[in-house]
Amino acid sequence: MSTAHDEPAVAYDDPERHAMTQRVTWVSVLVNILLTGAQVVAGIIAHSQGLIADGLHSLSDLVCDFLVLFAAHHSKDPADASHPYGHGRIETAASFALGAILALTGAGIIWSAGVKLQSLEYLPPVAPMALWTAILALAAKEGLFRYMLRVGESLRSPMLISNAWHARSDAASSLVVAVGIAGNLLGYTFADSVAAVIVGFMIVRMGTVFAWEAVQELIDTGLSIEEVDSIRQVIVDTPGVSSLHELRTRRMAHRSLVDAHVCVDPRVSVSEGHRIAEMTRKRVLESHSAVADVLVHVDVEDDLDHDMASHGLPDRDELLRHLAPAFAGLPAPERVVLHYLGGHVEAEVLLPAAIGADPVVLDRLERDITKRLAELPLVSSLALNQRVRILAGGG
């Protein structure tokens, strides 16, 4: 059986987290607007291809920032009928789009710089203004990286972390551009274009990494071995859980989902099995803050063994039809409990108190029920019980 949650569905909307994501992204937007304008204008005036390439990189940052804002706005939406697990995967999709934009931007820069390298004699000299602009961009991007990474790690947001490393790639590219411009000013004409090519490769690599990580999440790649082992230990240590024979995990943005199949004592009640499952779920959620929800499936035997052994066993309706003639003229049993264990069925029949304690009636009833159950060869045992009424005060 699988447990149904008695408590409200997990809330994926975190107003504080959303506000911090919005704030840090708007800071990034402002910085990238200023840098894009400064680098492109200075690159054109100073005849620096590397600085223009770095400016285009900043422009791609700006596009990515707006992707992050869009994703942050919609990923906070709670679960609904169409999205029962919430909208966290919007962050994942944005991370993939961000990576794709980076890779395409880098490829374009490499192509443009490669063309320029074939005609270096026609390139005008680079002005010193380009070097100072590159140094200013380097300082701004490194500061932005450190700020965004700190916030992203505190929020456990892969989207913000990827955007932070995007800013770090910008800082690294600005460093390369600064070195290339300096080389050009020292007389090495090719240095500026080579710097642009290096920046392009850096951008392509970073974009590929981000896109690949997003794809891994979209195809439901599980948590790390260490995380899974930690969750497994919490589950098997839960009172009432005799074993764990299946554990599955998957990521959803900054959270993760867990499915567990646990074995319990086969003779506990359904309500106790449900309680054990809820206790298991609660313990995992309390011990692993990154886990958003846990679905616990309760078994009495290993699923594979149980499915093979239960093939061909009579169901409840069939058993009750065989028992019904034995109670002809008598009150129906109060309860019939069936245990499907080890490839057989065990039946517990609770007789109504109205049958009385006449040993003749009870003996005949037991023989009749036993005979009828014997017609079903996979019924291995029968237990007849009778409710006893104790009157208060001896009355």
State the CB neighbour count (10 A cutoff) for residue 47. 17
CA dihedral 186, 53, 69, 87 (to 10 degrees): -120
* Distance in angstroms (rounded) separating the CA atoms of residues 300 and 242: 9
Record the tokens describing residue 245, joined without a space: 């024979």
Strand ranges (E), the chain: 243-252, 255-263, 291-299, 335-341, 344-351, 379-386
Chain segment 353-366, per-residue pLDDT in tens: 766 666 777 777 77
* pLDDT tens-digit profile, the chain (395 residues): 555 454 444 444 566 777 777 788 788 888 888 888 888 888 888 888 778 877 877 777 677 667 666 666 655 666 666 655 555 667 777 778 778 887 887 888 788 778 777 766 666 778 888 888 888 888 888 888 888 888 888 877 776 787 787 677 777 778 888 888 888 888 887 888 788 788 788 778 878 887 887 787 777 677 788 888 999 999 999 999 988 888 888 877 667 888 899 988 888 888 898 999 999 999 998 888 778 788 899 888 665 555 555 566 778 888 778 777 777 766 777 788 888 777 777 778 777 776 666 677 777 777 777 777 677 666 666 666 665 544 444 44
Chain segment 182-231, per-residue pLDDT in tens: 888 888 878 887 887 887 887 788 788 878 877 877 776 777 888 889 99
Strand ranges (E), 148-254: 243-252
The CATH superfamily holding the domain 15-218 is: Cation efflux protein transmembrane domain (1.20.1510.10)
Amino acid at residue number 259: D
Check residue 344 and give its pLDDT: 77
Domain-wise residue ranges, the chain: 15-218, 225-300, 309-394
What is the architecture of the domain spanning 225-300? Answer: 2-Layer Sandwich (3.30)
What phi, psi does 13 have (nearest 5°)? -85, 120
* Distance in angstroms (rounded) separating the CA atoms of residues 81 and 274: 25
Residue 225: in which H helix or E strand, if any?
helix 225-236
* Distance in angstroms (rounded) separating the CA atoms of residues 273 and 277: 6
* Distance in angstroms (rounded) separating the CA atoms of residues 73 and 21: 9
Same fold, 15-218 and 309-394: no
CA distances from 115 to 125, 191, 249 (A): 17, 14, 48
Check residue 276 and give its pLDDT: 92
Which candidate, 41, 222, 199, places its Cα nearest to that of 107? 199
User: Domain 309-394 carries which CATH code?
Assistant: 3.30.70.1350
Q: Is 288 exposed, middle or buried (0-12, 13-18, 19+ CB in 10 A)?
A: middle
Record the tokens describing residue 104, joined without a space: 């395409």
CB under 8 Å to 41, separation ≥6 — which residues? none
Beta-sheet pairing, 379-386 with 344-351: parallel
